Structure 1
Amino acid sequence: MDLPVMPPVKPMLARSVPEVPEAPGMSYEPKWDGFRCVVFRDGDEVELGSRNDRPLTRYFPELVDLLSTVLPRRCVVDGEIVVVTGAGLDFDSLQLRLHPAASRVRKLAEETPASFVAFDLLALGDRDLTGLPFSERRALLADVVDGDLARVHLTPLTTDPVVARDWFTRFEGAGFDGVVAKPDAPYEQDRRVMWKVKHERTADCVLAGFRWHKDGVGVGSLLLGLFDEDGVLHHVGVASSFTAARRRELVEELEPLRRDALEGHPWRGWAEAGASGAASGRVPGGQSRWSAGKDLSWEPLRPEWVAEVRYENVAGGRFRHMSRLVRFRWDREPASCTYGQLEVVAPAELGRLFGGSG
């Protein structure tokens, strides 16, 4: 492979802001809920690069075949790999695609074929385009990506902040993370020169355990649960990102809840069986293709406290990203922490964005 922009490429990033920014020359796009991917094509060679430099090529053979026929023979395209369903974007199905067995990869490629959404063009032919302003790169991208093709899409774009705010609300139900705002500037690898506005809500959860921080002396994350209609406490995610001082404070605060914590604990079966998943409901651990050998052992706490946390969205009954602790709610009973409090957003059809090809 010999391209003017060679792998690995660290994608340009965005920093979070509370509302859609406005500035001359700003462009806006939906924020996709998938795997960031930079596609390198040089003739018959196609490589799919991820944000963390781990190659995605072997996991999405159907995209390799597709992109080798629809993209220009020599190009580098920044975009997102997604799985599109009738109800919106399905991140859980996308995660399942990262499987070590080649036979499983082929089977999933047929059952849940992925799509690619292009939103930037870094190289074309012998030209390195990263020094051009975004508006020029986008115009060239629109010329080379056919937005009507099945499973290859050119991301929608607007320069109107009013439209961007409408997208932020209207397309959330389809699985979009929010809105990205882009300045009319060159492409800068691994720098947060864009802005992102993401959905954020709060929920009251049962505090049922914690994990130690890697420093071994503080709390790294709090394990959170919600009750379903049958009274089963499911693990829904963690709250983390504490300062060093707060991590040490939490050790002292939670100490009373550690005494006899497994006695009657709803996740006792999982704690005693390790990663076998013996407990009912969703449980807080077990190695996965994402954990990459990390220590997922946890300390149980008597489930007597309620933690109010700030989260972005929910997928598969869990918080899609790590949440942040707002406060402990002494005025709430753990039994009141149910899935019913989570805001359910009605799905929006992807056809609003892609027409028939969605």
Structure 2
Amino acid sequence: MKLPVMPPVSPMLAKSVPTIPPGASYEPKWDGFRCIIFRDGDDVEFGSRNEKPMTRYFPELVEAVKAELPERCVLDGEIVIATTDGLDFDALQQRIHPAVSRVTMLSEQTPASFVAFDLLALGDDDYTGRPFSERRAALEKALKKAKAPIHLTPTTTDLDVANRWFVELEGAHLDGVIAKPLGGTYQPDKRTMFKIKHVRTADCVLAGFRWHKTSTEAQPLVGSLLLGLYSEENKLQHVGVVGSFTAKRRAELVDDLEPLLAVDSDGHPWQEWANAEAHAGQRLPGNVSRWNATKDLSFVPLRPERVLEVKYEHMEGTRFRHLAHFVRWRDDRTPESCTYEQLEQPLTYALNDIVPGLGGLR
């Protein structure tokens, strides 16, 4: 492979801002795997956010790249799995698997798509030093005849349209809106773009915690708090965790949580967490990490008697898509009142209306 921009490349990043800034180019924020595609003839490599190659996990996209992209190019974008209900991040995570046979099977059952949103190189030309407006124009020209599963993200310079996207596109499981300075160059690993994401609050039941990785017997530290919400069947569903505490607060939480310690796990809503078969039917906190099979996800059960308010961005099925953030204790709320009904439901929106041809499966 011989390109003007060679792998590995860290993708350009975005910093969070509370509102959509004026005077920029706006596009949907896709919820998938960030990927920089390098193509030099039949040589294709997919670079990830951490610069590690993901090529082997998406054989169907390798063939699509050879069929639909220019002979020599470097593109920045997002790998997604689209369904009729929107983007499916859980299905995308399943694609990261060590077995070739399973990767092959999933590439047929849940094929992925690539949504391009920036151009780093084309032919012998390095575009990273050029303004985004010029890179976008060249990207549109390069992908003019590209067909699914290769797509071009829509953009607009109309602030009113961007604000409408922010509200409407969440129903298709998109993350929010990205704003790019029209004159900005491509700067790897620099937060020169802006991201505007949804932030909401929910009252959750505290049902357990995990020790911090640096915790010792002499200095115990709480790592994360395990959150639950009651389903319509009155079952406490594990919905996510709260972390990101200071070292001082992690030590204080050890004493704060001691009165809630369960004598044993019998009778705890998640007492079956150690039973692998139980994970097939519900979301339990003791499941094995798909990203690190050696990671200890066991937890300390607590009596589900205390409520806390957390900030979250959006839901992925029945759980929080990202790490939630602690807001405050809600001793005025009963655990039984913490149900899914309190969660705001975004407007539904079809992916086909955002990017034609990205309608997905099912």
Kindly state the Cα deviation for residue 90 of structure 1 after the two structures are TM-superposed. 1.1
Kindly state the Cα deviation for residue 281 of structure 1 after the two structures are TM-superposed. 3.2
1:230 lines up with 2:228 in the alignment: no
* Equivalence for 2:74: 76
Kindly state the Cα deviation for residue 291 of structure 1 after the two structures are TM-superposed. 3.4
Are 1:82 and 1:115, in contact at CA under 8 Å, matched by a contact in 2? yes
Q: 1:211 to 1:3 in 2, by over 3 A?
A: same
2:97 corresponds to which of 86, 99, 111 = 99
* Equivalence for 2:21: 21
1:211-230 paired onto structure 2 within 5 Å: 211-216=210-215, 217-230=220-233
Task: Give me the whole-angstrom Cα distance separating, in 1, the residues matched to 2:5 and 2:342.
Answer: 48
* Equivalence for 1:4: 4
Q: Which amino acid aligns with 1:193?
A: T
Are 1:149 and 1:357, in contact at CA under 8 Å, matched by a contact in 2? no
* Equivalence for 1:290: 291
Task: Give me the whole-angstrom Cα distance separating, in 2, the residues matched to 1:323 and 1:275.
Answer: 25
1:62 corresponds to which of 60, 63, 81 = 60
SS at match of 1:262: coil
Are 1:147 and 1:153, in contact at CA under 8 Å, matched by a contact in 2? no
Task: Give me the whole-angstrom Cα distance separating, in 2, the residues matched to 1:4 and 1:219.
Answer: 48
* Equivalence for 2:309: 308
1:176-191 paired onto structure 2 within 5 Å: 176-183=174-181, 184-191=183-190
1:193 lines up with 2:187 in the alignment: no
SS at match of 1:355: coil
Task: Give me the whole-angstrom Cα distance separating, in 2, the residues matched to 1:280 and 1:351.
Answer: 31
CA RMSD of aligned residues (A): 1.7
Kindly state the Cα deviation for residue 298 of structure 1 after the two structures are TM-superposed. 1.3
Task: Give me the whole-angstrom Cα distance separating, in 1, the residues matched to 2:180 and 2:233.
Answer: 46
Are 1:5 and 1:123, in contact at CA under 8 Å, matched by a contact in 2? yes
Q: Which amino acid aligns with 1:285?
A: G
* Equivalence for 2:127: 129
* Equivalence for 1:109: 107
1:123-179 Cα offsets, whole Å, 9 max, x none, are 111111111111111111111013762221111111121111110001110111000
Q: 1:280 to 1:267 in 2, by over 3 A?
A: farther
1:307-328 Cα offsets, whole Å, 9 max, x none, are 1111111112110000001111
1:46-89 Cα offsets, whole Å, 9 max, x none, are 11111012211111100000011111111100000011111111
Task: Give me the whole-angstrom Cα distance separating, in 1, the residues matched to 2:102 and 2:25.
Answer: 40
Number of residues of Structure 1 aligned to a counterpart in Structure 2: 354
1:205 lines up with 2:204 in the alignment: yes
* Equivalence for 1:346: 347
Kindly state the Cα deviation for residue 351 of structure 1 after the two structures are TM-superposed. 2.0
Kindly state the Cα deviation for residue 260 of structure 1 after the two structures are TM-superposed. 1.9
1:250-302 Cα offsets, whole Å, 9 max, x none, are 112111111525342111222xx365647973210222322352221211111
1:333 lines up with 2:334 in the alignment: yes
1:27-42 paired onto structure 2 within 5 Å: 27-42=25-40
SS at match of 2:355: helix
TM-score of the two chains, using structure 1 as the length reference: 0.94
Are 1:269 and 1:279, in contact at CA under 8 Å, matched by a contact in 2? no
Q: Which amino acid aligns with 1:11?
A: P
2:158 corresponds to which of 138, 157, 160 = 160
